[in-house]
Amino acid sequence: MTTPRWRPEGPRLNPAERAQLLWIFREEAGLEFPQDTEYVIERKLQDRLLQLNLKDFTEYIRLLRSPAGRPELDQALEEVTTHETYFFREDYQLRIFQQELLPQLKALAEGRRRLTLWSAGCSSGEEAYTLAMLLSDAGLFDGWTLRVVGSDLSRRCIAHARRGVYGRSSFRAVPRDYESRFFAEEAGRLSVLPAIRERCLFLHANLLDQERHITLGRFEAIFCRNVLIYLAEEARERVIQLLHDRLQPGGYLLLGHSESLLHTESPFEAIHLQGDVVYRRPPEGGRSR
């Protein structure tokens, strides 16, 4: 998250108000803030209070809790959430996905000739578009229907993802030839080509909202990277169960490099690949390894 300038003369957050705000963010989105970063909340929300002409955080909390405060609650969540992302993030994992997992997923979905991936917590869409490019390049799916769904809590990020136009900072890990093959330059920025965009669908959705996700059907693989690290334990467990339920049996869950289910009770089986651990919903008929 970007940290705005702290204003010592601005409204200050007392411990009771901080506890109430943390509770609201946890209830609403499952978010948890390590103790040493809680102070960042004060900085991030000071500007909101000033813009709304509120005298202190108690008034702000009252607004967030009122029915009329829903848009401001969305805004507050935008401010305190980390949206950092870029194309081809954690590329070693993407290579493993393309080389080792995609052929397996092809076998899994052969009968349907339809493959659907989900970037859960996709931020501004770079991860979902990266997956669509990898599918396009795999050379395995002639005549198949290929879809990538991206979802996020942030309406601002979803609007950005739908536009599909990016600045240089999103390109720090893009292989050179991908840039020329999958993007067009537009006034100094790069837009994703229609052939890739057409495969991607972006939705505003909270991962704590089970009902919202049932209509999405089931996926052959889900990328939920760099999202669980921001969630409280109870929310993490709910989200892991949701991800499991939304996978086809035999489908894979891929997490960020600092996230792991290895020491947690979970319905997944861990599959150790060369250089990475991925998680599989056991195929029908039970665990196979």
Interface residues with ligand SAM (CB under 6 A) are: 29-30, 81-85, 89, 121-123, 127, 152-154, 157, 206-208, 225-227, 230, 256
Joined tokens for residue 98:
């393309």
Minimum Å distance from CB 89 to ligand SAM?
5
Minimum Å distance from CB 18 to ligand SAM?
20
Minimum Å distance from CB 39 to ligand SAM?
20
Nearer to ligand SAM, 179 or 209 (CB): 209
Q: Label the pairing between strands 247-255 and 276-280.
A: antiparallel
Minimum Å distance from CB 93 to ligand SAM?
10
Nearer to ligand SAM, 138 or 229 (CB): 229
Minimum Å distance from CB 28 to ligand SAM?
8
H or E segment and range at residue 16: helix 15-29
Joined tokens for residue 61:
């909390």
Residues ≥6 apart with Cβ < 8 Å to 15: none
Nearer to ligand SAM, 114 or 257 (CB): 257
Nearer to ligand SAM, 82 or 99 (CB): 82
On whether the CB atoms of residues 184 and 190 are closer than 8 A, the answer is yes
Task: Supply the DSSP string of 216-273, one letter for each residue.
Answer: T--EEEEEE-SSGGGB-HHHHHHHHHHHHHTEEEEEEEEE-TT---TTS--S-EEEEE
Nearer to ligand SAM, 31 or 101 (CB): 31
